[in-house]
Structures are given as structure tokens and as C-alpha cells.
Amino acid sequence: MLSDSADKSVRAIRVLAGGTDLVPSMRQKLFEPESVLDLRLVKELRGIRETEQGIEIGALTTLREIETSRLLREQYPVLVDAARTVASPVIRNMGTIGGNICLDTRCLWYNQSLAWRKSCGFCIKKDGDLCHVAPGGSKCWAAFSGDTPPALLCLKAEIEIASAAGKRRIPLSEFYTGIGDDYRRLQPNELLTRVILPKSSAGYRGVYRKLRIRGSIDYPLAGVAVAVKRSNGHIDDFRLGITAVNPAPLLVKGTDNLIANGSSLEEIAEAAADLAARTAKPLTTSALTPEYRREMIRVFTKRAVLEVLGQRPLLACPERVE
């Protein structure tokens, strides 16, 4: 673990977990650390364990391990569904849950080679002082584009963050800032060490649906996670998370009201879709238009809600742009 006295030099360090995003980003000179701290041999950060409080997942656990975990599939299916849509099988064999949570935000103007970015005069997120997406503003709107965080938000997951000074545990919802170029609350001398899924979220039926250009291997351009708890035909709790359409993954607010007033399942699905689409604020950070991405949030939310409520068959494959 890094000592606090090393804090200054630590700014020049990047942590490598699976390296599936870090290495390509370094090649594009998006990150130019002096040193890379390779975590891959830290066994203590791997594995899925059942505890009294729920389930703990080590930050270095691969997405493949999550995708194939029987325990998670039985108790937290929305997370398994989201994990199995990340990139491709080869990448999921290396990519970790910690790396997916800490993933850098993405933008059409940023995820490019040095020469490409230089030709456009760079931008606020790296090396420049203007935003091509919202010219005149001083904020970066790059979109958070990880698949598992909306599912984890639906499960009210917490994360453990460690440094030489000790450990702290926070709800995942407090980890993200909503600012594209400073998107996570993680000090340079801190590591994400564990993800905790509470027992109270076990048994929620859930699905994750995403929009992507290449169905076999692509980041989400819009993603929706839905988790529902039902008993005796009644909906007890209903959670909805979205990703890739804002600088942070978000839990959609107001879903409690949807189930309170005795509406039909179709009406609940329509209202949830409206809420999700209103929460989504996509901008021109990707190759697909903001209007299309917002509309697909609406479409996927409605379909996903009807699927988890048993009104539509669960789809065999993740959806993509036709």
C-alpha cells in the first residue's frame, strides 16, 4: 500500500488492474504516468465471498468470474447481466470489476490519438481549454461508460477504499462527481479494494440492456439496469439505473411513486421510461445523436421493466443498434 508521504509522487502513478482500458489509453497519451502500479498479483483483492452482510467482491475479480458466478446469478442477477455485456469474452477475462467502476469517462473528442486531438486543439479534459461539445462552457461532459455501475447502483452497493491511512466505505452513488474530467472521488494514494452487495438487495429480479454500435464488442452509448422485488404479485421495490448518457452513472429518482398508486404494469413501464429519459442528458460525446440515445433509454427502460415484471420474455442477447 502507498504511504501518505509518497502522496506527491503518487500523482504520477496509475493503477493497473486488467489493463484493458488503461493500456489503450496510455497508447493514446490520454494518461502519461511516470509509473504504473500493477495490482494483478495481489490475491487478497480477488474473489467473491458470502459474508453476514451480503456478498463481497474483490476489486480484482474479473468480469468473467462475475458473469459465471452461480451465487451472483441466483442472488444479484442484474449484475451478472450487466457484466456479460462488457466488451468481449477476451476482455472480460482480463477486465476487473474495480477497473469497470473506476473507468475513465469517454468522449468522441477525447478517445482519439494524440495527433487527432492535437489537430482539433485538444480540449478541457486533457491538454486544452475549450470543450468541443459545449463550446463557451468550462465543464467537461464526457460520458461515464461502464456497464456494471448502473446495476451496482440498483443493488445499493457500497465500495471499500483503502490507503495507508486506513479504509473507508461509501455508497457507490457517492463515488461519482458528475464532472467529466474529474469523475470520481478517489485520492491519488487510494485504491478501490472491495465491492459490497447488501443482503437486503439479494433476490431482486433484474436485467440490463445496452445500446452499442458493434454488438460483439463495444462500450454502451446508453444503458439501463432494472431491479425489482416482488412478493405475492405485489411490487415491493423498484430500482432503475442508467449509464453512458451523463458524466456519471445514475440511480433514477422517483421510482417509488410509480408503484405506490396501483397503476397497471404497462403504465408503470411507461412512466419509468419517461423518468429515465428525463434523467438522461446525453450530449454530442459519441457517434450516435443525443436524441437517439435518450430515446433508446426510454425504449430499453420500458422493455426492461416489462421483462422483469414478467410481461415480456427475457431476451437472450443484449440489444444493439440494428
Ligand X SMILES: Cc1cc2nc3c(=O)[nH]c(=O)nc-3n(C[C@H](O)[C@H](O)[C@H](O)COP(=O)(O)OP(=O)(O)OC[C@H]3O[C@@H](n4cnc5c(N)ncnc54)[C@H](O)[C@@H]3O)c2cc1C
Is residue 107 within the footprint of ligand SF4 (CB under 6 A)? yes
Helix (H) or strand (E) holding 279, with range, is helix 265-279
Half-sphere exposure of 28 (CA within 13 A, CB side): 18
Q: How far is the CB of 135 from ligand SF4 (least distance, A)?
A: 9
Interface residue with ligand X among 56, 65, 81, 104 (CB under 6 A) is 104
Residues 263-302 touching ligand SF4, rule: CB under 6 A, are 285
Q: Are 163 and 189 in contact (CB under 8 A)?
A: yes
Is residue 141 within the footprint of ligand SF4 (CB under 6 A)? yes
Q: Which amino acid is at 127?
A: D
The region of 91-99, 133-141, 199-207, 256-264 touching ligand SF4 under the rule CB under 6 A is 133-141
Q: How far is the CB of 136 from ligand SF4 (least distance, A)?
A: 11
The region of 52-60, 93-101, 138-146, 198-206 touching ligand SF4 under the rule CB under 6 A is 138-146
Residue 313 grid coordinates:
420474455
Binding mask 136-175 for ligand X (x = CB under 6 A): ----------xx----------------------------
Q: What are phi and psi of 178, to 5 degrees?
A: 85, 10
Interface residue with ligand X among 61, 69, 75, 96 (CB under 6 A) is 96
- Measure Cα distances from 238 to 96, 132, 205, 232, 269 in Å: 27, 37, 10, 15, 11
Q: Residues 187-216, buried b or exposed e (16+ Cβ, 10 A)?
A: ebbbbbbbbbbeeebbebbbbbbbbbeeee
Residues that bind ligand X (CB under 6 A): 14-22, 24, 59, 63, 86-87, 91, 94-96, 98-100, 102-104, 146-147, 191-192, 217-220
